[in-house]
Amino acid sequence: MTKRGTMVYPEEDARYIQFTPEQLQALAEMYNAGRSTRTLAARYGVSPCTVRRRLVSMGVPLRGRGGLLVTEQVLAVARHMLSNGARWYAVSWATGVKALSIQGAMRRQRKGG
């Protein structure tokens, strides 16, 4: 039963997703590592809005659209995978960042900008 979009009895509503403390911690860590709310939403089977609400409730500062996605950690993983012969789609899947975004960040680093 809902009232103006607020769950009155969340335990009785099948749409209510309860995250464990470990899942919330992992959610915050992956977001801070550069994963998008859309990627995290797909991983946990919830909407991006749910991910944003949970991050805000934990006090995690949110990025704007198109914000910091390609961190040094993501670039290091991408370089390692590419040097071992991985294809771009595998790098994108492993990091949760689009291949074009990683390629652009690598190009900017080579140019020094």
Q: Burial, 43: exposed, middle or buried (Cβ in 10 Å; 0-12, 13-18, 19+)?
A: middle
Residue predicted with more confidence, 15 or 7? 15
CB neighbours (10 Å) of residue 32?
A: 14
Calculate the alpha carbon distances from 19 to 50, 74, 106 in Å.
11, 26, 35
Cβ–Cβ under 8 Å, residues 62 and 55: yes
Q: Give buried/exposed letters for 55-83 (b at 16+ CB in 10 A, else e).
A: beeeebeeeeeeeebbbeebbebbeebee
Predicted TM-score of the model (pTM): 0.49
pLDDT score recorded for residue 3: 45
pLDDT score recorded for residue 101: 86
With H, G, I as helix, E, B as strand and everything else as coil, classify residue 63: coil
Tell me the domains of the chain and their CATH numbers. Answer: 2-57 (1.10.10), 72-111 (no CATH)
Average pLDDT over residues 29-39: 88
